[in-house]
Structure 1
Amino acid sequence: MSNTTTILTEITKHMKDHDLILSDLAREAGMNPGTMSSVINGNRTLSVDQLDRITKAMGHPVGYYYERYVSEYLAEANPNWRRMSPFLHNCAKLNKLDCIHEVVNLLMDKLGYSESLFELAEELFHEKMYQAAAILYENVAVSEKKQYSERLAMCQYRLFQTRQGDNQEKNYEAAVQFEIYVERLDEIDQLEALKDLANTYRSLRKWDKVELFAKALGDKAKIQYKLEQQRHHGKKENSKKPNFPLFAYWAFSHLLRAEACEARKDYEQALQHTHAYADLSWVIATDETALKWKRQYEEWAVGNTYLNKVLAGEISVLADYVVYISSRKDEILPALDIIVEAANRYHFDVDHILEQFEANISSFLEQRKVESFYTQRFITERFIHFSKELAVYYLAKGKFSEGFKFLLSCLEKSTSINNKSYIIKCMRLFESCHEYASSETKAAYRNLINEVDADET
């Protein structure tokens, strides 16, 4: 297709090369012959749906002419949103991101399209077409950067969500960039945003940040809960509903704060937070969803009380804790992580526990993706920490084969998600006992370090 041809000349050439008349092409494209005639003769603007039909009839893949369509039909002095919107949606489905960039650039100096672009971005986001949605959010944010608007804040929230992935450094950067916009969101959206921010910092083990945003989450959830009760008594409904019961956000804030306290070895304060979310008797709601979350937090409180006591060195609860997690698949990895960490800290033997859950540990080691209640980022971070603790445990016991296996696993996973903190920890641990490593282990270690060096260049 040369630069001097147009879509219409390509269609005309196809008809000539294949000895077709208008009605033949119209039939193959599933179009009215009169409509086809108007399009070919330039009396009617070619819509993206018609373009798709004709393109398929010509034997080309859908989207074949999209780059040309932008310059021939969309680059107008007064852009036609009715044509642009379905075109952008189709480009998103086909992952034609360059075309999306081109169309959005045509609208950059036209503020009247900001709302339309935002609404389309929301559609794409909810349809999980995140890359395409991000392009729209970025441009809407640029057009509204000088306005203290809720729409700008929502764009930044969506961009934060779309930027969460396997790279821990980028996750951190996205979180820091979004922080300043949280207060501009609608009060209900703030709850989700604070929860997401706290969870991101949780996966990064940035405990001061977790504490900060978890406290804000709890304070705001408490206010919204009181307002909800007032509206309930006044028979007024709030138009925006949260994703979870309001008390569940409040309870989650205390769960996060308990975890932050445990990380700081403040086990007494951690237990206070745990007792707070364990007692939800003050919650008035009795619907199925409310009861489900009340039971869930009560159950988490039991497990986390065991966890807290184990971390504090109360080994007497260990047997009961193992019984507790045995029937709860999602809790096995977090619990074993804590148990081995405590074993390393207080120097007690947990070989019998590791043998009991040997199959689970092998599964964690082999699986790239774990199906669980928890987010994948949380599980990935937890397994990295667990691998490191296991490496320390086995190496200290002189079980070098097992120790280096988990050390290399930790280093490999840390490298894949660019977690520099754990990469450094693995390197220090390896160097402290490298004389006990086999030649195969040293070679595997060197290969992983070369990957780290390559990523840094």
Structure 2
Amino acid sequence: MTNEPTIRSVISRQLERKGYSLHSFSHRSGINRGTLSAILNGNPPKPISIGQLDLITDALEQPIGRYYPLYIEECIDSGHPNRRRLKSFLLRCAEIDELACIEQVLSRLAEDLSYLPTIFAIGEELYEAGKREAARLFYQSVCEYEKYQHSERLAISQYRLFRMNLGDDAELNLRSATWFEPYRNRLPEDLQLDGLLQLANTYYTLQKWTYVERFAEELQTLARQMYEICRKSSSPHPYHELRCERHLVVYYGQGFLLKSSALEHQGKYEEALACVAGYEDLSWFEGLDETGLKEVEKFKVWARANRYNLEILNGNAAILPEYLNLLKEHPYEVLPSLRIIVEAANLNGFLIDDVLKEFPVNTDLYSLFPNHYVSTVNKDRFLDLNYQLAIYLLRKQEMEEGLEKLIYALKYAVSLNHKEFFMKMVPLFEQHRNFASQEQLQEYESLMGEVLKGAEVGSGVRPGH
């Protein structure tokens, strides 16, 4: 037996304290007097809807949500809770960010696995409505209590959590990708396209090129299969019926593009060049609407840029004027292309001072036309560009500027919790420590102290977390 007050006793006390009769409070709240009486005095009492509770709360001059913790018992008052009332309550909690109440309800419902389909469905509804943090609680509940490991709703829940967890923290991204990876093939095939693309992009930012190559190949295969299914479909608009986020041609082209990039980073330039041919002209793709045609044009530009990349990485600096003309025509290509140009200069020992004057390295590079690339990919490219630029300056014996750029890149790597870059840059600084100014040494030592403090509490390389 609990001594906790019930929602009706609390409301009744408030009415008495404020001197309201049922008649006067009915007028104030807009709720019929007979309905109020049935709610507060009925035997058994009439159930309260969430809408009525909000009207009562507002009329009592209390913040909306004030009585929600007590309302949980109203929803789960028997072995067979009213599912419609329960859903309305959960959606309302999500609407006003009463996440603690959602957690309480889900922990109670989890005892009965028959509620998992409802929990999943509400999670999907909230996800589509943009209430991601509330949706997260529903997906976590499915992942925790689903006993059928090959169920579709479990795979989708894992996928949603993976997408929501992706951000600027490289270590968290790695853990999220690793956790989701085994579920990728259990997704419906149209959602698999997005899952594979996100996995490949995530491992791209982590510079795990063999993983990028693997998921790019899976993406190629699946996109080709889905294309054949759509071509043979009797539906008038088969491509529009897919639930994937982008046009199907994007996944087909990205399979080749990502594999080409992975091979390029592994120094397999000839193999990478062969992959470029797979996406440079996708005009043959059936079902291209206006959006699809725009995507095909993007792939054409990327193919030109990547052919230049491979040429310049092989040491052909003579193509730089052509390449720079392309970048002037397509300024959103400056960030990824400039990174390759600086890396190629370091690999092959040529100078690019004129290029750097024309395209200065600053944060405008990754805020320019942000919709063309995944934000985390842009940040990874910007980090790599600054690291390559530090190497370039140090190679030219411009020690002060080179170390300044290296410290900047180190700070950026720490902010992204990017261990791979961090572990490359620390030895580079130590190698040139004797050339550092006193101010640079102090800045470096201060950064290392913060990193060490962060590592002691088990948070990777990021300080203060």
TM-score category of the 2 structures, normalised to the smaller one:
over 0.9
- 1:370 Cα deviation from its structure 2 partner: 7.8
- 1:172 Cα deviation from its structure 2 partner: 1.0
> Residue deviations 1:154-177, cap 9 Å, x none?
111112112212221121111111
What residue is the counterpart of 2:271 in the other structure?
269
Q: Are residues 91 and 346 of structure 1, via their aligned partners in 2, closer, same or farther at CA, if it must alter by over 3 Å?
A: same
Is the partner of 1:278 in helix, strand or coil?
coil
What residue is the counterpart of 2:91 in the other structure?
89
Within 5 Å, which residues of 2 pair with 1:150-161? Answer: 150-161=152-163
Q: Are residues 71 and 285 of structure 1, via their aligned partners in 2, closer, same or farther at CA, if it must alter by over 3 Å?
A: closer
Q: Are residues 28 and 153 of structure 1, via their aligned partners in 2, closer, same or farther at CA, if it must alter by over 3 Å?
A: same
What residue is the counterpart of 2:280 in the other structure?
278
- 1:279 Cα deviation from its structure 2 partner: 2.4
What residue is the counterpart of 2:364 in the other structure?
363
| Structure 2: distance between partners of 1:362 and 1:142 | 41
What residue is the counterpart of 1:27 in the other structure?
27
What residue is the counterpart of 1:146 in the other structure?
148
Within 5 Å, which residues of 2 pair with 1:35-434? Answer: 35-42=35-42, 43-71=45-73, 73-232=75-234, 237=238, 240-358=242-360, 361-364=362-365, 371-434=370-433
Is the partner of 1:285 in helix, strand or coil?
coil
| Structure 1: distance between partners of 2:237 and 2:327 | 43
Q: Are residues 159 and 25 of structure 1, via their aligned partners in 2, closer, same or farther at CA, if it must alter by over 3 Å?
A: same
Q: Are residues 332 and 273 of structure 1, via their aligned partners in 2, closer, same or farther at CA, if it must alter by over 3 Å?
A: same
Q: Are residues 94 and 440 of structure 1, via their aligned partners in 2, closer, same or farther at CA, if it must alter by over 3 Å?
A: farther
- 1:235 Cα deviation from its structure 2 partner: 6.1
- 1:57 Cα deviation from its structure 2 partner: 2.2
Is the partner of 2:279 in helix, strand or coil?
helix
> Residue deviations 1:54-94, cap 9 Å, x none?
22222222212222222454353222221221222222233
| Structure 2: distance between partners of 1:226 and 1:107 | 43
- 1:321 Cα deviation from its structure 2 partner: 1.0
- 1:237 Cα deviation from its structure 2 partner: 4.8
Contact residue 257 and residue 279 of structure 2 kept, 8 A = yes
Letter of the 1:336 counterpart:
L
| Structure 2: distance between partners of 1:105 and 1:76 | 15
Q: Are residues 316 and 237 of structure 1, via their aligned partners in 2, closer, same or farther at CA, if it must alter by over 3 Å?
A: closer
> Residue deviations 1:11-61, cap 9 Å, x none?
223223322222333333332333222222252112222222222222222
- 1:315 Cα deviation from its structure 2 partner: 0.6
Letter of the 1:198 counterpart:
A
| Structure 1: distance between partners of 2:297 and 2:346 | 33
What residue is the counterpart of 1:440 in the other structure?
439
Is the partner of 1:361 in helix, strand or coil?
coil
Contact residue 145 and residue 152 of structure 1 kept, 8 A = no
What residue is the counterpart of 1:452 in the other structure?
451
- 1:130 Cα deviation from its structure 2 partner: 2.0
Is the partner of 2:277 in helix, strand or coil?
helix
Where structure 1 has 5 or more consecutive residues not aligned to the other structure, the ranges are none
Contact residue 392 and residue 402 of structure 2 kept, 8 A = yes
What is the TM-score with the length of structure 2 in the denominator? 0.91
Contact residue 94 and residue 131 of structure 2 kept, 8 A = yes
> Residue deviations 1:92-141, cap 9 Å, x none?
23333222121111111222211111110001112222222122112223
Greater Cα shift, 30-39 or 61-70: 30-39
What residue is the counterpart of 1:12 in the other structure?
12
Contact residue 276 and residue 307 of structure 2 kept, 8 A = yes
- 1:316 Cα deviation from its structure 2 partner: 0.8
| Structure 2: distance between partners of 1:391 and 1:165 | 26
Q: Are residues 24 and 388 of structure 1, via their aligned partners in 2, closer, same or farther at CA, if it must alter by over 3 Å?
A: farther
- 1:209 Cα deviation from its structure 2 partner: 0.6
| Structure 2: distance between partners of 1:129 and 1:450 | 38
Q: Are residues 147 and 353 of structure 1, via their aligned partners in 2, closer, same or farther at CA, if it must alter by over 3 Å?
A: closer
- 1:222 Cα deviation from its structure 2 partner: 1.0
- 1:302 Cα deviation from its structure 2 partner: 1.1
- 1:286 Cα deviation from its structure 2 partner: 4.8
| Structure 1: distance between partners of 2:4 and 2:143 | 37
What is the TM-score with the length of structure 1 in the denominator? 0.92
Q: Are residues 325 and 418 of structure 1, via their aligned partners in 2, closer, same or farther at CA, if it must alter by over 3 Å?
A: same
Where structure 2 has 5 or more consecutive residues not aligned to the other structure, the ranges are 457-465
Contact residue 172 and residue 200 of structure 1 kept, 8 A = yes
Greater Cα shift, 2-11 or 422-431: 2-11
| Structure 2: distance between partners of 1:444 and 1:109 | 54
Is the partner of 1:254 in helix, strand or coil?
helix
Greater Cα shift, 253-262 or 93-102: 93-102
Greater Cα shift, 416-425 or 91-100: 91-100
Contact residue 206 and residue 420 of structure 2 kept, 8 A = no
> Residue deviations 1:295-320, cap 9 Å, x none?
22112111111122112211111111
Letter of the 2:258 counterpart:
L
Q: Are residues 226 and 281 of structure 1, via their aligned partners in 2, closer, same or farther at CA, if it must alter by over 3 Å?
A: same
Letter of the 2:37 counterpart:
S
Is the partner of 1:146 in helix, strand or coil?
coil
Contact residue 330 and residue 372 of structure 1 kept, 8 A = no
